[in-house]
């Protein structure tokens, strides 16, 4: 899913939670189209309220590939007003041109990120953080440990994972490799810029 669509889902999150009921056709359609897996459907159904189910779906969607947003729009047959609003907002949104993003100096790219920078980055990341740290070389077991050690704080889980990566790789844990993994997961370039503000 591209950065614009992720941003759009994030900006309308609360509104979507009140208007879209995922108990109906939405989840089944996304499952049929291969956007959601069995475990995703179970995870969504296990939520206690309709709003929580919708939130869970919105957490999962951004990581489900380039067709996820369009499939989500198609799944909203029962909610034409929501589909219309999403399509209008999507047209209005301007995506930041990669040329507008200021380049990071090569000398900075070769350094390791500081704790403060990792904290800032963690604040900007959502569910995609797990894929990012897997790209950086951590294992599913490492991610599980970070989640167990910080069960109630997502930001702490993310920071713990990045600190573990930096400890393991030492001087090889550079901002450049971090940037590459963020780009691989199609994270908005502004997230990395925010680290340096």
Domain ranges of the chain: 3-95, 106-195
Q: In sequence order, which residues have a C-beta less than 8 Å from that of residue 93 and are 6 or more positions away? A: 4, 7, 8
Decide if pLDDT at 164 tops 90.
yes
pLDDT band at 94 (very low <50, low <70, confident <90, very high): low
pLDDT at 106 (0 to 100): 77
Give the pLDDT mean for 127-149.
90
Residue pair 121/191 in contact (Cβ under 8 Å)? The answer is yes
pTM score, whole prediction = 0.51
Q: Indicate if the pLDDT at residue 149 is higher than 90.
A: yes
Helix (H, G, I), strand (E, B) or coil at 30: helix
- CATH number belonging to domain 3-95: 1.10.533.10
Q: Kind and range of the H or E element at 45? A: helix 38-45
Fold match between domain 3-95 and domain 106-195: yes
Q: Is the pLDDT of residue 145 over 90?
A: yes
Q: Name the CATH superfamily housing domain 106-195.
A: Death Domain, Fas (1.10.533.10)
| Alpha carbon distance 58, 55 (integer Å) | 5
Element (H, E) at 62: none
Average predicted confidence (pLDDT) for the chain: 84
Q: Is 43 left (phi over 0), alpha (psi -120 to 50) or beta?
A: alpha
Q: Determine the average pLDDT of the residues in 108-118.
A: 86
């Amino acid at each position: 899913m591209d950065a614009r669509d992720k941003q759009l889902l994030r900006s309308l999150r609360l509104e979507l939670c009140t208007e879209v009921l995922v108990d109906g056709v939405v989840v089944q359609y996304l499952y049929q189209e291969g956007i959601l897996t069995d475990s995703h459907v179970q995870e969504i159904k296990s939520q206690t309220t309709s709003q929580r189910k919708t939130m869970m779906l919105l957490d999962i969607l951004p990581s489900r590939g380039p067709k996820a947003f369009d499939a989500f729009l198609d799944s909203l047959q029962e909610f034409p007003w929501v589909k219309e609003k999403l399509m209008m907002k999507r047209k209005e949104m301007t995506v930041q041109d990669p040329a507008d993003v200021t380049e990071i100096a090569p000398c900075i790219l070769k350094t390791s990120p500081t704790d403060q920078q990792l904290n800032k980055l963690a604040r900007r990341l959502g569910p995609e953080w797990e894929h990012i740290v897997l790209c950086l070389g951590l294992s599913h077991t490492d991610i599980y440990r970070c989640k167990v050690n910080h069960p109630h704080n997502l930001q702490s889980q993310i920071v713990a994972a990045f600190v573990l990566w930096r400890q393991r790789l030492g001087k090889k844990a550079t901002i450049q490799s971090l940037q590459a993994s963020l780009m691989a997961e199609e994270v908005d370039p502004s997230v990395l810029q925010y680290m340096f503000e």
